Structure 1
Amino acid sequence: MKIPPKVSFALSSVWILLLSVLLRTDVSSVQRIFILLNLVLTIVILYFKYLSEPKPEPIDIKEIDKITYQPNQEKEKKESTKKNYDLHNYKVKAICENVKEFSKNCKEGEHFILRKSSVSHMAPQPDNPRHNDSHIDVRKLTTILEIDVDSMTCVAESGVTFDELVRHTIPLGLAPRCVSELKGITIGGAVAGCSVESMSFKYGGFHDSCLEYEIITGKGELIRCSPTTEPELFNSVHGSFGTIAIITLLKFQLVKVKPYVKIDYLTSKTIDGYLETIQKFYDNRNLYSNEEIDQKKQEEKLKDTSLNWTEMMDGLIHQKDQFVLNSANFVDKLPANTKLSEFWVTPYYKTAKNKKCDYMTTYDYFFRYDSDCHWSLRNMPGLENMVLRKLLGRAFLGSSNILKMAGRLPFLVKKGGKPDVIVDVFIPIENVKTFFDWYLETFGEYFPLWIVPYEMPQYQLQNYKHYPWLNPDLMKNLKSSLFIDIAIYGFEQKGKKLNYYHELEKKVLELKGMKTLITHNFYDKDSFWQTFNKPLYRKIKQRSDPKNLLRELYNKTNFKKKK
């Protein structure tokens, strides 16, 4: 039985506050005993009410496939799909009318934001003025309309989370080309914010697998756009952080998957050796498609991890001389007596540090970082304690709970008036060593760092070499389309003189890279538009949101009420 989200969040908040009080020096012994008794009582109640049920065995993909696609179910499937589309059209019509009404009656300088069913996965920013904007309700956009197994495509509304999506696709032997690592991220949010994961070295971001968007402009106009229909608009939606239009529907590509994943942890002692291994896997990224990796190739790979190809890869830098590349491949079956990893007991970043290999279900692999929101809990006392996690992990952990707590308890992430550094930066592979040396000098030995190799796809639109929404000058003279996403999560700025966000912005721009905007930003306007394509953005913005109801990209992501 699953704990209801509201109960889970409330208990999580109480748990954090009780632990905080418990660790204070001015608390008496009697009070400590009382708090501990309350915690123990909560654990006992939760265990017997919610947590004592055995974990179900992973679904056999092949058996599900046989059951799902029996001919006598085809008519029912078509009728269900038609109902989904009819209901969707009704929902978007209502949203269009709400936007038109707001646009007609709003005062100059007013804006609106979206009221969604999921928690925001942007870094918590309690001072952001957009929290005071009016709301347009899109909470009903949470339906998967259609999964086409033959064409390996899916059509779904923008509020569908990756958690919900893969629960539907994995039993069919399919998954998105890029599955965001946190369960609560929505597919619309993944496009607006440019999400990445371990297949990104082959497929880029989730937005690169999208074939079509349905959007509502700031004028209340409903538009379908694709690489061939409204191509400039289509290529400006991703990375716009909701400032161009409201995404309501997406059609995107899927890939074949198997029930389990094997991860081989490949270690290097130097950044040069690490990048060399990444480059080899990248060079062979198209050696086999998912469909071509038959049982024989799979067995060869399992026996010989030195083969220079992999289906998925990401990495963790644990120390300045401990680099781990996580080479992952789908498998049909588990070796005898294999124990699957469960990351609500031990955080994944810890299990990946010293192991040689790992097995997990495909679902658990996709969300291996979710329980701790990577490693954001390690700065909070007691939350990596194995005993507490084993008893309460299923109830309290998970990125959605963590982000809700951080949003409502801002002191957890903004210590001493300065927010912790939570950021992804994309660096061309030829400049990664320079960046890493600078990182050691500037940040010291703060680890781990999350590493995601990323293919920057080639574009044909108006002779753009790479993403049209990036400044073309930024992409000039690059030797490779391979970038490395280097993620710094949880670095504490409290008590430090430097503004580390601003230092990152300057260094990343110098190295022809890009810093994501999901977190705190301190750009001046000139340096900001050295990264992003101002002429194209302004052109599309004027067409889709001339009253600036969705806010302008620079102002939305670089608000000035900061220290």
Structure 2
Amino acid sequence: MVGDMTVLGALKNIAVETVGKTTDALRIGNGLDARELQPVGWFAHGQAVEKLRASYEAIPPGENVRLAKKTSNLFRGRNQSTTPGLDVSGLGGVIAVDPVAGTADVQGMCTYEDLVDTVLPYGYSPTVVPQLKTITLGGAVTGLGVESACFRNGLPHEALIEMDVLTGTGEVVTCSPTQNVDLFRGFPNSYGSLGYAVRLKIELEKVKDYVELRHVRFHDVHALTETMEQIIETGEYDGEAVDYLDGAVFSLEECYLMLGRQTDEPGPTSDYTRDRIYYRSIQHPEGVLRDRLSIRDYLWRWDVDWFWASRAFGTQNPTIRRMWPRDLLRSSFYWKIIGWDRKYDLADRIEAANNRPARERVVQDIEVTPEHLPEFLEWFFHSCEIEPVWLCPIRIRGTGADGNELVGEGETLGADKEHPWPLYPLTVGQTWVNVGFWSSVPVDLLGKDAPAGAFNKLVEEKVSALGGHKSLYSEAFYDRETFEQLYGGSFPAQLKEVYDPQGRFPGLYEKTVDWA
């Protein structure tokens, strides 16, 4: 019997390995590895803009204007529409790279995956590279995006030098720190309520070939928070520079800071694009665990398993993972599975078949200051079973690389040095910590009569009580008065009067809360 089991086990391994090799040989979509991409050039960009303008003119007057694109990184619904959308099919590339100045002109629908693969051969990276490959530069600017360089480089829109925006009037308006300043400062966090970015000229930063990692273990969130603040102030830990800083909390007794240092020193690197899983490599019982990645693998370390969310699709099961096509270990494919679930209610059907309640999706990124971070984490881990959560400190720059202020006085906006970006009023000089959690809870977690979205509403209330706020890429339940207090007051409406007087785009509240 033992011999038979051994033979069966060996046959199973052979079958799994054979399937794995076969699927790895497939080339599906963009895959995981770097591709050789060239800038599209100004002529092609001009043609794409003309096509965009023509598609705008084809939308009947009075109808809302939307993008005609199949992909999204938003975790909130959208009311369906039969009206044709804007044709942005030609706006997905890098227009030009200036390696001397360290800048790039980029089309609004260019994904960070394509942007990185275009500029990395020049030795450059965007100043902030959001975690998922299919996030677009235009989307990160209008909807915000964060990553482990945010503690020193601020947010993606702080790298903006100039931007062309298709507004609600049908005009393409150029804005910058000195031209159409209200639009330039009001566009970040507007989520398409003012228009869509057509071209963005951005600063790049020089990067080295590798990232040396240190995963620092903590046994309580207070010590983690204190160390995080020290690193942000000094730019180093234990005498070694820190270029990248984020964290993961598995429980109140098991939490980590992940510190990255760029280096050109040659040496072996780890690979988390096949059998091994990055977030599991972080965990260890005590002290500091070192690792090393190529710069590109570091930038996309979270995309392969969508942080840790791929476990919901079975891809962290060793047998399934060995057979799963390597090219489909990426967030864009997991998004397709989410789409199928939304269409056919797959997850709720599975729960019902097992006599379990349906699930309330809890997909949020919130920000609180370090002084309130331990309290929020303690409340969160005592309130639900979601784990782990991601931490990403943010400190907006306020000044550019040349030391000058990033933005000036606008047409109606004063020169507010503390709050240069009014629709998401982070304060210059103040550290905020993004806390990301992406999972679900039973719909009856707060009681059998709990209303829809009950736990998400509870999160909003707790965050507001701590003086924080949250990103608007997912469901939001604020009433209009609370929403305006958090996200720009009357300024979004003032901008709409200038750049979208006919209301062709849904307003910010309608877009992010009412799912318009």
Specify if TM > 0.5: yes
Partner of 1:5: none
What CA deviation, in whole Å up to 9, does each residue of 1:436-473 have, x standing for no partner? 22223322x5321100010034366414322432476x
- 1:531 CA displacement: 0.5
Please state whether the residue corresponding to 1:214 is helix, strand or coil: strand
- Alpha-carbon distance between aligned partners in 1 of 2:444 and 2:273, rounded to the nearest angstrom: 32
Which residue identity lines up with residue 205 of structure 1 in the other structure? L
Q: Does 1:222 align with 2:172?
A: yes
Please state whether the residue corresponding to 1:96 is helix, strand or coil: helix
Partner of 2:441: 492
Please state whether the residue corresponding to 2:183 is helix, strand or coil: helix
Percent identical pairs in the alignment equals 24
Which residue identity lines up with residue 436 of structure 1 in the other structure? L
- 1:222 CA displacement: 1.1
TM-score (norm 2): 0.84
From the superposition, tell whether residues 479 and 517 of structure 1 become closer, same or farther in structure 2 (CA, over 3 Å). closer
- 1:479 CA displacement: 10
- Alpha-carbon distance between aligned partners in 2 of 1:48 and 1:204, rounded to the nearest angstrom: 40
- Alpha-carbon distance between aligned partners in 2 of 1:111 and 1:271, rounded to the nearest angstrom: 46
Which residue identity lines up with residue 388 of structure 2 in the other structure? P
After TM superposition, list the pairs within 5 Å mapping 1:48-447 onto structure 2. Answer: 48-50=25-27, 84-102=41-59, 105-107=60-62, 110-116=63-69, 119-123=71-75, 125=77, 128-130=78-80, 133-285=83-235, 306-307=238-239, 309-335=241-267, 338-354=268-284, 356-380=289-313, 382-410=314-342, 411=345, 418-443=359-384, 445-447=385-387
Do the aligned partners of 2:245 and 2:259 also contact (CA within 8 Å) in 1? Answer: yes
From the superposition, tell whether residues 130 and 240 of structure 1 become closer, same or farther in structure 2 (CA, over 3 Å). farther
- 1:240 CA displacement: 0.7
Which residue identity lines up with residue 369 of structure 1 in the other structure? W
Which residue identity lines up with residue 89 of structure 1 in the other structure? G
What CA deviation, in whole Å up to 9, does each residue of 1:372-400 have, x standing for no partner? 211112233x3211232233241322110
Partner of 1:25: none
From the superposition, tell whether residues 488 and 47 of structure 1 become closer, same or farther in structure 2 (CA, over 3 Å). closer
- Alpha-carbon distance between aligned partners in 1 of 2:124 and 2:244, rounded to the nearest angstrom: 15
- Alpha-carbon distance between aligned partners in 1 of 2:233 and 2:22, rounded to the nearest angstrom: 53
Moved more, 203-212 or 345-354: 345-354
Moved more, 490-499 or 547-556: 490-499
1:46 to 23, 26, 45: 23
From the superposition, tell whether residues 339 and 145 of structure 1 become closer, same or farther in structure 2 (CA, over 3 Å). closer
- Alpha-carbon distance between aligned partners in 2 of 1:229 and 1:122, rounded to the nearest angstrom: 30
Please state whether the residue corresponding to 1:426 is helix, strand or coil: strand
Which residue identity lines up with residue 503 of structure 2 in the other structure? N
Q: How many residue pairs align between the two structures? A: 470
Q: Does 1:483 align with 2:446?
A: no
Do the aligned partners of 1:243 and 1:553 also contact (CA within 8 Å) in 2? Answer: yes
1:552 to 487, 490, 507: 507
From the superposition, tell whether residues 485 and 133 of structure 1 become closer, same or farther in structure 2 (CA, over 3 Å). farther
- Alpha-carbon distance between aligned partners in 1 of 2:424 and 2:130, rounded to the nearest angstrom: 26
Do the aligned partners of 1:317 and 1:324 also contact (CA within 8 Å) in 2? Answer: yes
Please state whether the residue corresponding to 2:280 is helix, strand or coil: helix
- 1:406 CA displacement: 0.6
- Alpha-carbon distance between aligned partners in 2 of 1:315 and 1:192, rounded to the nearest angstrom: 25
From the superposition, tell whether residues 205 and 152 of structure 1 become closer, same or farther in structure 2 (CA, over 3 Å). same
From the superposition, tell whether residues 502 and 344 of structure 1 become closer, same or farther in structure 2 (CA, over 3 Å). farther
- Alpha-carbon distance between aligned partners in 1 of 2:15 and 2:247, rounded to the nearest angstrom: 40
- 1:231 CA displacement: 0.8
- 1:131 CA displacement: 5.3
2:471 to 482, 506, 516: 516
From the superposition, tell whether residues 544 and 431 of structure 1 become closer, same or farther in structure 2 (CA, over 3 Å). same
- Alpha-carbon distance between aligned partners in 2 of 1:156 and 1:471, rounded to the nearest angstrom: 24
From the superposition, tell whether residues 452 and 369 of structure 1 become closer, same or farther in structure 2 (CA, over 3 Å). same
Q: Does 1:451 align with 2:385?
A: no
Do the aligned partners of 2:423 and 2:492 also contact (CA within 8 Å) in 1? Answer: no
Please state whether the residue corresponding to 2:131 is helix, strand or coil: coil
- 1:365 CA displacement: 0.4
- Alpha-carbon distance between aligned partners in 1 of 2:507 and 2:210, rounded to the nearest angstrom: 43
**Per chain length, whose mean CA-contact separation is higher, i.e. which structure has more relative contact order (CA < 8 Å, sep 6+)?**
2
What CA deviation, in whole Å up to 9, does each residue of 1:6-29 have, x standing for no partner? xxxxxxxxxxxxxxxxxxxxxxxx
Do the aligned partners of 1:261 and 1:361 also contact (CA within 8 Å) in 2? Answer: yes
Unaligned runs of 5+ in 1: 1-35, 69-79, 286-300
Please state whether the residue corresponding to 1:451 is helix, strand or coil: strand
Which residue identity lines up with residue 274 of structure 2 in the other structure? W
- 1:162 CA displacement: 0.9
- Alpha-carbon distance between aligned partners in 1 of 2:373 and 2:429, rounded to the nearest angstrom: 12
Do the aligned partners of 2:215 and 2:257 also contact (CA within 8 Å) in 1? Answer: yes
From the superposition, tell whether residues 247 and 49 of structure 1 become closer, same or farther in structure 2 (CA, over 3 Å). closer
Which residue identity lines up with residue 146 of structure 2 in the other structure? V
Moved more, 393-402 or 249-258: 393-402
Do the aligned partners of 2:386 and 2:439 also contact (CA within 8 Å) in 1? Answer: no
Moved more, 272-281 or 338-347: 338-347
- Alpha-carbon distance between aligned partners in 2 of 1:442 and 1:467, rounded to the nearest angstrom: 35
Do the aligned partners of 1:373 and 1:398 also contact (CA within 8 Å) in 2? Answer: yes
Partner of 1:11: none
- 1:47 CA displacement: 4.2
Which residue identity lines up with residue 280 of structure 2 in the other structure? K
What CA deviation, in whole Å up to 9, does each residue of 1:275-322 have, x standing for no partner? 11111111124xxxxxxxxxxxxxxx8xxx612641111111121111
Do the aligned partners of 1:457 and 1:466 also contact (CA within 8 Å) in 2? Answer: no
Which residue identity lines up with residue 423 of structure 1 in the other structure? Q
From the superposition, tell whether residues 418 and 91 of structure 1 become closer, same or farther in structure 2 (CA, over 3 Å). same
- Alpha-carbon distance between aligned partners in 1 of 2:246 and 2:212, rounded to the nearest angstrom: 13
- Alpha-carbon distance between aligned partners in 2 of 1:533 and 1:213, rounded to the nearest angstrom: 21
Moved more, 224-233 or 417-426: 417-426
- Alpha-carbon distance between aligned partners in 2 of 1:131 and 1:419, rounded to the nearest angstrom: 25
Which residue identity lines up with residue 347 of structure 1 in the other structure? I
- Alpha-carbon distance between aligned partners in 2 of 1:218 and 1:374, rounded to the nearest angstrom: 36
Partner of 1:466: 419
- Alpha-carbon distance between aligned partners in 2 of 1:207 and 1:479, rounded to the nearest angstrom: 14
From the superposition, tell whether residues 384 and 548 of structure 1 become closer, same or farther in structure 2 (CA, over 3 Å). same
Do the aligned partners of 1:413 and 1:420 also contact (CA within 8 Å) in 2? Answer: no
- Alpha-carbon distance between aligned partners in 2 of 1:313 and 1:404, rounded to the nearest angstrom: 30
From the superposition, tell whether residues 112 and 158 of structure 1 become closer, same or farther in structure 2 (CA, over 3 Å). same
Which residue identity lines up with residue 486 of structure 1 in the other structure? V
Unaligned runs of 5+ in 2: 1-12, 352-356, 399-406
Please state whether the residue corresponding to 2:257 is helix, strand or coil: strand
Which residue identity lines up with residue 387 of structure 1 in the other structure? T
- 1:488 CA displacement: 0.8
